[in-house]
Amino acid sequence: MSKIFDAYRKKVGDTPDLAIELGKAGSVSLYPVPEGSQRNDFNKLANKLLGLRPENRGAVLAFGSSAAGEGASFVSYNAAVYLATVYHQKVAWIDANFLSPQKKLMGQERKSFSNILRDPSRVDDLVVTENPLLIPVGSELVTARGLLADQNYGELLRAFSRRFDFVIIDLPPVLVSDDTALLAASADGFLLVIEQKYLKREVIDHGLKGMKDKGVRLLGSVINRRTYELPKMIYDRL
């Protein structure tokens, strides 16, 4: 258990009211507040992620699944919310899944991922009024995808890591888009979200091998047994 979590327990007691803490999140809520055992599962995940933060900057962590529908967006979003509201970290959550963008975030082009990607210096101009700060995909990411392979993307992530304790990136499915490896390779690490009965192990391993071959640092996996629910999570190599 991290020193941060120990300090948090001393501050709020051994059994914090997570529902109250989560109520302090940003004005836009992408998913319902987790209930029951889900709270403990996400608390454990966030606590694991705390240990991944470098001393001199924020951690940049990418989340994705092998195929669509496995809950990667749900897991990455709630990981960001728990880091922000329970552990009081300054967090940015980036919707980089241009294949299935978050509809609730549409219309915020000025701070969109595709807009900032063209000019990473705009990260310094972001007005942070909520925690986590939610960054939408933007309508022009498809035309900006060529920038993922040049220095702009790396500069953007470095700029975010200077302003935030954690930068959580939600990615397209590994087996659906080649851009997922490009997006993940510049992050500090990648976590694979798996809906246990959705895909065979051989298919998952094939997708991960492709990620490794492209220089992606694989941190581990999160098992998501039911859509938008996490009754049990298995951490591998975290």
Classify residue 235: in a domain, yes or no. no
Classify residue 230: in a domain, yes or no. no
**Tens-digit pLDDT profile for residues 49-83:** 999 999 999 999 999 988 888 889 999 999 999 99
- 52 is in which domain, residue-wise? 3-223
Give the residue, 26 or 82, on which the prediction is more confident.
82
CB crowding 96-106: b at 16 or more within 10 Å, else e: bbbebbbeebe
For residue 53, the model assigns a pLDDT of 94
Classify residue 237: in a domain, yes or no. no
Three-class DSSP category at 200: coil
The CATH number given to whatever domain includes residue 28 is 3.40.50.300
Classify residue 96: in a domain, yes or no. yes
For residue 227, the model assigns a pLDDT of 43
What's the residue count for the chain?
238
Q: Per the structure block, which two tokens stand in for 148?
A: 């993922």
Classify residue 228: in a domain, yes or no. no
Report the number of distinct structural domains present in the chain: 1
> pTM for this one?
0.82
Classify residue 238: in a domain, yes or no. no
Identify the band that residue 17 occupies on the pLDDT scale cut at 50, 70 and 90.
Answer: low
User: At 46, phi and psi to the nearest 5?
Assistant: -60, -40
Residue 6 in this model has a pLDDT that exceeds 70: no
**Tens-digit pLDDT profile for residues 205-233:** 767 787 888 889 999 888 775 444 444 44
Amino acid at 230: L
CB atoms within 10 A of CB 10: 9
**Tens-digit pLDDT profile for residues 80-124:** 999 999 999 999 999 999 888 898 888 777 788 988 888 889 999
For residue 225, the model assigns a pLDDT of 59
